[in-house]
A and B are shown apart, each in its own frame.
Chain A
Amino acid sequence: SQQGEEDPQALSIQEGENATMNCSYKTSINNLQWYRQNSGRGLVHLILIRSNEREKHSGRLRVTLDTSKKSSSLLITASRAADTASYFCATLRGSTLGRLYFGRGTQLTVWP
């Protein structure tokens, strides 16, 4: 079953703008991961943040985690048309090793 909720469900922006997606979850976690999925394809792991970390960067990606609010955000800077995809957050709980709980996802469209 799902664990997280992404917000917004859909986001449409112009190339060069920043895109921010949020994820909330309900229980304590071991880590939180963001995945990207192009239409009808497999998921690609983007970035992972552990429960004792607050912020992480990878290229144009910035992830924050607020465990007190049980929320995370994914920021994509200087977006490109190729960033158009669905983005999912997934949490790993300490008590259920190996089982990821996916949120509903945000569909990002970047217009050239």
Chain B
Amino acid sequence: DTEVTQTPKHLVMGMTNKKSLKCEQHMGHRAMYWYKQKAKKPPELMFVYSYEKLSINESVPSRFSPECPNSSLLNLHLHALQPEDSALYLCASSQERLLAGGNNEQFFGPGTRLTVL
């Protein structure tokens, strides 16, 4: 199974709502990533988990809260978001996060299209 799945595909939420995005992979990858992508822009890295521990936080506002319950699952908890947070949220995983000289080929999920009203 070389697939990364994400749910939901689409999400519309108000600024006072609390919601969660979910990501799952069964490739045995030990690194997982959250990216945010605006239209016609490249993905922007938000968080990196390595062996279920948060290793990179790209100064993301605290209204985004990541969680890695186990090596296959990655969540992104959303609370009190702003309309400018509307974007495509992509999850990715890779095998060789910590090996020097590793390829870090990343496998991406289809994304969650988030709209904040």
Do A and B interact with each other, yes or no? yes
A103 and B111 contacting across the interface, CB-CB below 8 Å: no
Number of interface residues of A (CB under 8 A): 24
The answer to the question of A41 belonging to the interface, with a C-beta cut-off of 8 Å to chain B, is: yes
Task: List residues of B (14-61) whose CB comes within 8 Å of A's CBs.
Answer: 31, 40-43, 45, 48, 50, 55-56
- Choose one: B42, B94, B104, B113; the contact of A104 (CB below 8 Å): B42
- Choose one: B4, B48, B101, B110; the contact of A30 (CB below 8 Å): B101
Most interface-central of A35, A41, A42 (chain B CB within 10 A): A42
Most interface-central of B88, B92, B104, B108 (chain A CB within 10 A): B104
- Shortest B3–chain A CB gap in Å is 10
What is the bound-complex CA distance between A48 and B96, given in angstroms?
14
The answer to the question of A44 belonging to the interface, with a C-beta cut-off of 8 Å to chain B, is: yes
Most interface-central of A30, A31, A43, A45 (chain B CB within 10 A): A43
The answer to the question of A63 belonging to the interface, with a C-beta cut-off of 8 Å to chain B, is: no
Task: List residues of A (20-56) whose CB comes within 8 Å of B's CBs.
Answer: 30-31, 33, 35, 40-45, 48
A42 and B42 contacting across the interface, CB-CB below 8 Å: no
- Shortest B46–chain A CB gap in Å is 12
The answer to the question of A70 belonging to the interface, with a C-beta cut-off of 8 Å to chain B, is: no
Known interface pairs A30-B101, A100-B106; A43-B48 also in contact (CB < 8 Å): no
A43 and B105 contacting across the interface, CB-CB below 8 Å: no
